[in-house]
């Protein structure tokens, strides 16, 4: 978690160096045991793969307000729009952009890896990232004297994101210190973004086992506040518990891209917020006219593992789920989700019949179900009419014509 003024929690990281990536595979391919994608456990409870049958977030720009995003990482190649640096501090040294790169990979990672194989894939791998640098890394030696430039970097970043086409704004950051009430400039910026249709998502905070302070920007009205759960869907001890919490999402043992072109494992509500930002991007891609409030409700109503009372300060409305959120969005817009695009068959295109079954056409299409039925009927007629066939070897048979497209 990062803040433009003060910060109470860090991203726990362990560099991953022991992976041997397999040959190039697509993002929908099942994970191979021991592979990097196999360790992205969060994809399963979020139902990301099923959601990709409808949309991957194409056409949506997600602004990542963070420490900067390294567009040189293979998993993010071609996905990053370089925005302004509002920190007032030059990019220097290895610490630059590690946290921002990690969050960007969870939102829109392309899953290419260092050898263009699998790598980290985000929840919305078709979306693009607008990188806006508003904070320094925790281990940056300049952090002690840096206090967010003029103190308004977050507010300026939000406004820049809205004015440059971001439909989702991801803020895996927060404040501690004595400014728990936020700032007037940030409140105005949040209202500005919401009024122009941008969805804002923020991490709930990582001091739930301690002071459990209100965390900004997560506490601003209209912002989707996200807490963290582990692999057993239990609330992580560090996840802040507040009445304004919207949902929770995976936030322990999360593999992400690293600014040094490698990978790290991290714990925190930062990762959870980034994944929910990816879900918001999927919704905005499929239903671009939905308001921020409608998107928030779709995510909350689509949550799984809902608490007994429907909401509580630790679990929010439950665990965010991409498919259910899309279904809720579709219901609110009174239209069904798009079906999965049919795959191409070898030797010809695949088309849908009136009954919904795919039918191969073109050269080398092989035997289809209608032809098989006809062949069986011919064999039956032949076996029952053996005598007649002995007298007359002529047999005319015309199979039914293919259905019209």
Catalytic residues: 66, 99, 270
CA within 13 Å, CB half, 159: 12
User: Rounded to the nearest 5°, which phi and psi values hold at 105?
Assistant: -65, -30
What is the token pair recorded at 127?
Answer: 């979306």
d(CA 184, CA 181): 9
Q: How far is CA 194 from CA 190, 284, 389, in A?
A: 6, 14, 80
Q: How far is CA 212 from CA 108, 222, 224, 246, 297, in A?
A: 30, 21, 18, 16, 25
User: Rounded to the nearest 5°, which phi and psi values hold at 301?
Assistant: -75, -20
d(CA 62, CA 127): 7
DSSP designation for 135:
-
What is the token pair recorded at 96?
Answer: 């630059």
d(CA 358, CA 271): 39
d(CA 274, CA 219): 17
Q: Tokens 């849908």 label which residue?
A: 352
DSSP designation for 248:
E
d(CA 45, CA 224): 19
d(CA 264, CA 271): 12
Q: How many CB atoms lie within 10 A of CB 39?
A: 17
d(CA 236, CA 208): 9
Q: How many CB atoms lie within 10 A of CB 388?
A: 11
With CA atoms as reference, report the closest residue to 236 among 280, 199, 203.
203
d(CA 264, CA 276): 20
């Amino acid at each position: 978690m990062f803040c433009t003024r003060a910060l109470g929690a860090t991203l726990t990281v362990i560099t991953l160096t022991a992976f041997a990536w397999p040959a190039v595979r697509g993002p929908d391919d099942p994970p191979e045991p021991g592979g990097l994608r196999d360790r992205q456990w969060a994809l399963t409870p979020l139902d990301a793969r099923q959601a990709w049958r409808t949309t991957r977030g194409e056409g949506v720009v997600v602004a990542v307000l963070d420490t900067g995003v390294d567009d040189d990482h293979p998993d993010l190649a071609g996905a990053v729009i370089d925005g302004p640096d509002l920190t007032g501090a030059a990019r220097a040294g290895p610490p630059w952009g590690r946290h921002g790169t990690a969050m960007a990979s969870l939102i829109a990672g392309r899953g290419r890896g260092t050898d263009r194989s699998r790598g980290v894939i985000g929840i919305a791998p078709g979306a693009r990232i607008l990188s806006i640098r508003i904070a320094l890394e925790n281990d940056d030696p300049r952090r002690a004297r840096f206090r967010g430039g003029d103190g308004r970097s977050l507010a300026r970043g939000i406004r820049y994101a809205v004015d440059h086409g971001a439909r989702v704004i991801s803020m895996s950051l927060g404040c501690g210190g004595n400014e728990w009430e936020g700032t007037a400039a940030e409140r105005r910026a949040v209202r500005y973004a919401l009024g122009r249709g941008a969805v804002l998502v923020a991490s709930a905070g990582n001091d739930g086992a301690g002071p459990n302070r209100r965390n900004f920007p997560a506490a601003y009205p209209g912002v989707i506040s996200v807490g963290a759960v582990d692999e057993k869907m239990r609330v992580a001890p560090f996840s802040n518990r507040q009445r304004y919490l919207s949902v929770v999402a995976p936030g322990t043992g999360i593999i992400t891209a690293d600014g040094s072109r490698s990978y790290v494992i991290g714990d925190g509500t930062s990762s959870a917020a980034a994944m929910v930002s990816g879900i918001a991007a999927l919704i905005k891609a499929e239903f671009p006219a939905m308001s921020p409030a409608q998107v928030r409700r779709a995510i909350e109503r689509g949550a799984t593992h809902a608490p007994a009372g429907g909401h509580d300060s630790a679990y929010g409305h439950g665990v965010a789920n991409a498919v259910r959120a899309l279904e809720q969005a579709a219901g609110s817009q009174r239209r069904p989700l798009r079906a999965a695009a049919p795959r191409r068959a070898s030797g010809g295109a695949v088309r849908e019949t009136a009954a919904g079954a795919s039918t191969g056409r073109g050269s080398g299409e092989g035997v289809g179900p209608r032809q098989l039925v006809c062949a069986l009927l011919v064999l039956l007629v032949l076996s029952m009419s053996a005598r007649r066939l002995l007298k007359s070897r002529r047999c005319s048979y015309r199979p039914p014509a293919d259905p019209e497209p």
